[in-house]
Amino acid sequence: MKIEYTSRQYNVPSQYITKSVSLDFANGTTTVGMYTFYPLYEDNSESGTYRVLSSYSHARLSRFTHAKLALVKSR
């Protein structure tokens, strides 16, 4: 399931894909494991984001994605 969460520390909303949910009834806690969701395209039409991104090579898009991931990891 895709969810949106805003961290109190950064106050920036981010989207995540749920990996796992664990319940601990003895301690009354719930743990949710998530992956960060990075949308590549906003829609599947041949316009908008698709049209812009299709003009770039895979290598250039990969460098951009890796740079964004490095920023997230440094937080």
Residue spans of the chain under pLDDT 50: none
Cα separation, 34 vs 15, whole angstroms: 10
Quick one: pLDDT at residue 10?
85
CB of 54 within 8 A of CB of 61?
A: no
Q: Is the pTM of this model over 0.95?
A: no
Quick one: pLDDT at residue 14?
87
Quick one: pLDDT at residue 38?
81
Cα separation, 46 vs 7, whole angstroms: 34
Quick one: pLDDT at residue 26?
94
